[in-house]
Structure 1
Amino acid sequence: MRYRVTILATLFILVAGIDNVRATVVVKPLGPMRVEVIPANLTIVIGDTQPMQAFLESFRGFQQPQKHRLLTATWTSSNPAVATINSSTGLVTAVAKGVTLIRAQSGPFRGTTLLTVTPQLNSITVTPAGQTIPQGTALQLTATGNYADASTADLTGQVTWASTDQTIATIVPGGLATASSNNTGGTFIQATYNSVTGQTGLTVGPAALVSISVTPKNPAVAKGSPQQFTATGTYTNSSVNDITSSVTWASSDMNKATISNTGVASTLAEGQTTLSASLSGKMDSTVLTIGPAVINQVQLGSHDAGTIPLGNTYQFMATAYYTDGSTLDVTSNGGTTWSSNNQGVATVSAGLVTSHSQGNNIQITASYGGFSDVGTISVGPPALKSIAATPSPVTIPNGLTQQFTATGTYTDNSTQDLTNSATWSSGSPGAASVNSAGLATCKQVIDGITITAISNSVTGPATLNCGLPNLTSITVTPANSTIPNRTTQGMVATGHYTDNTMQDLTFLANWNSSNAAIA
């Protein structure tokens, strides 16, 4: 180990002259030494020359090495067939392709470096050439050196890479080109080494589909219920788009479910099927489980029952609809709950509405299986429901009259005399007539004549039988006659009837005298 010697001199100068001189010598170690040969690990072309230098470096503690001085060294090459070196000047001359070790020797110190000799680089080929890649993707490029001796070498890690339009694509050391996520177009990728440049065109096209995601995942629905599926595409530029209408949809069991080109699955039978969406070689799938049909609606047969007369009833019908299209009449079902929002006006049971007083827009609700529907009904004044024409049946002599009475019964069971307000008619006007007050007159001897009272389209019939006329009086002619004693007088008896007819009753009548002693 070499040492540096430091001389510290302390001088004491007296007025009378030099009285004393004292010297202190401190010896410190110089530290480790090494020889650095530069340029290090050099690559040169056949025929080129390169001067080399050797420096002595020392290390103190943990400090960085410090160049101490340039050495005068003796130079050698381990492979003179590849490169020679002037032993005193250090000038290297490249002779042939290969590798050699360059050594510098100065006293006890020696340093080395590796020298690579290559042929003259004629051109650089960048591959793959003329590629088109989607937005957001990367492409590994390779730079191949083409040398004068027809040899080639991979220079990918040694060249300087560049893109002529970095808004289209960028490239990093090592040759990895990355397409823009936002722009499309073309750029040139260049590789430069030792002042030689090679390039290739690179085109960035629209983003490509990377994956498809189908949602919802593995749903369960009731038979007959539709299910909307969505296909989402993730692209090379990290964008995410709804591609539901662009993918091809398929069902593994079309007896269980089919699916439209918009992703709507129609369920047909209980079980499972796999539904898939595919586009541009990408696919995703989901399993659809189909359970039994369930109720999805309750509907009344009529939502507006209109107005019913007080005292009348109205029957609402309720139908349950299921997801598979089937129906069930639940009007009288024990699971159906009926209700009225105004029970003072109308109540309901099993859909049958009973009116109690007048009112408008009463809401009637039917609930079944968690679903309900509402109808409305109004209650108006009572309506005439029947007419009783009396007496019936009745028989009177021809020519006489019969007074009929019309009594109306209403929906609230009240009654009213309609004799003078009803319209009266006879089923056989030639046999019997009836006036507006219900007074019928027999004109012919006939049975079964219908006398009808009509009011508000409600009819009340009565049966009238016109019998034989009754004898109302007998006229004896001549009246108050005077005859001589012991003479005779023929008498005629004429009968008068209810139909205004007359009949000779002379021989039918029973004759007698009030005073047989006279006549």
Structure 2
Amino acid sequence: MKKITIVLFNLLILLSLGCGGGTKKGFLPFLDLGDGSDGSSKGSTDLQSIYVTPPEDSIAVETYSKFKATGIYADGSHKDITDSVTWGSETTSISEVDSGGKAKGITPGQTKIIATQDGMSGNGDLTVKDVTLEYIEVSRFDPIAVGTSARFKAIGVFSDGTTQDLTDYVDWSSSDSGVAPISNTDDGTKGKASGSSTGQTTITATLNGISGTSTLEVVSKTLVSIAIDPNTSIAKGSGKSYKATGTFSDGSTQDLTDDVTWSSSDTGIATIENSAALKGNATGMSSGSATISATFSGITGSSVLSVTSATLTSISIGPDVSIANGTGKQFTAIGTFSDGSTLDISDLVTWTSSLTEIAGISNVSGSEGYAQSLGTGTSKITATLGSISGSANLTVSSATLSSISVSPGSATIVEGTNKQFIATGIYSDGTSQDITNIVSWSSANETIAIVSNVSGYNGLAYGDSAGTVGLTATLDGVSGSANLTVNPAVTLSSISVTPATKSIAKGLTQQYTATAIYSDGTNQDITNSATWSSGTTSTATISNASGTQGLATSANTGSTVISATWNGKTGNANLTVTAATVVSIAVTPANQSIAKGLTKQYTATGTYTDGTTQDITTS
């Protein structure tokens, strides 16, 4: 049995598009369309059709696929009706489906999964393949703080090289639930581990006797601050998905979106969700401004959400596009509003394909706007919200995959770091297409480097130990490869602070530089990264402010130790502050005329380094 882990970094990427970005997980607010309607997906009119969408169009025997049913209504709205339709399988000997749309592969073959409601039916194709699950990749996280959580994913890799997200189908377990229990419930939290106490635990995902593992470390560290998306503006009725990033006392950061408590200062203007599946989703209710806050462990981060009264005027989903049969295309719906602002409304519109035998398109939460080719020809893809729509033509060609190019062709990293690889498919008609997310990635030696098949991290290679390894991207029997060299990780040996010894007069400043010295003899300027301190702040202080890091300012005569700390290492320098010295002398009066034989008293005034002045006439 083969086991592998994939790294997911707790780096918060704060994304916004147009006037605020999109929403997630079936969160369907309303939009003012300027025509008396709000475009909401209420399904209040007659059901016109049912779209059935599988997350995968093929599965292995003894694995699963969760189908979704979307109702399309006469007013152009759509609604998730997965839980209200009646599910069935055309050939139950090939696949059985439960009342929630979860299909299980029984024997190899092809069948249709059917959803029926109000005399309407829709179906989706499902192929059950004669392949076996070889191993499971489990995502790996940086250490998390006590009281926070990590969402794990499980990716199955099969004997034909294909992959499938098995997160919702595996059994999750933790070797030490006292450190971090992990959820197995189907309430949107499956695979979510919660840090309960310090220590390490092994997270395991198991399906059909095959397991994948990952180690999770829970540490004690103090939350210093929380940052959420900056001030932004959205149209009334549209949504904004917020993310929260915590910064801790050790300088590390962690995504806290699922852990914080979200609030709005004025729910009449904007509401924000705290439910498990929708955390951080805000909706603009009326024009005005509200403060959106994220709170955890007594620390709060906030920003202002402005809601405008703008109405939707048009929708664009991009230019016409051509893809090869067997591949897919992600469409994005951009709404333009009466105030000129734009917003990604991909998860608010209803997506349709004019010829579903050529291309189907998803209205399923999380994959809205993704078109999958099913046959050759041209289909019109349309995004509709109320009476407003936008379209583009999707042409599916019969071109076949000729080769795969992986870039970069070679790369070098150090242990503990990562590198993103891209797979480009070259087709028989001379066209090329980014296929990074649909190829199967593999490493020739997983002790040196692993490469991810986890959605959102496809092609991300992580260096575990020193050496050179080949990485391969495979699709439909065609492969491309690249080489990755992993060099030994250098360690931080010491920090040098310069000047090592310095004497300045009271009132003057001194700029210090911190240099990291590594085990391989290389060095790096870390002046702006180190934490600076002064042993005797009554003698001199030193800045950690952006743009002035390492700048010491004298206060009183005496001596102090200036320190720079970074990654557990500290370097020191000595600073002596002497008495203020004269920097200029002013003689008064500046210009004077006297008669011959008379006298005139002049005064000399000294200005010192600390800004003081003194009569030095007799000095």
Does TM, normalized by the shorter one, top 0.5?
no
Q: Which has the larger radius of gyration?
A: 1
- TM-score, normalised relative to structure 1: 0.31
Q: Please state which structure has a larger fraction of its residues in strand.
A: 1
Task: Point out which structure has higher relative CO (alpha carbons under 8 A, 6+ apart).
Answer: 2
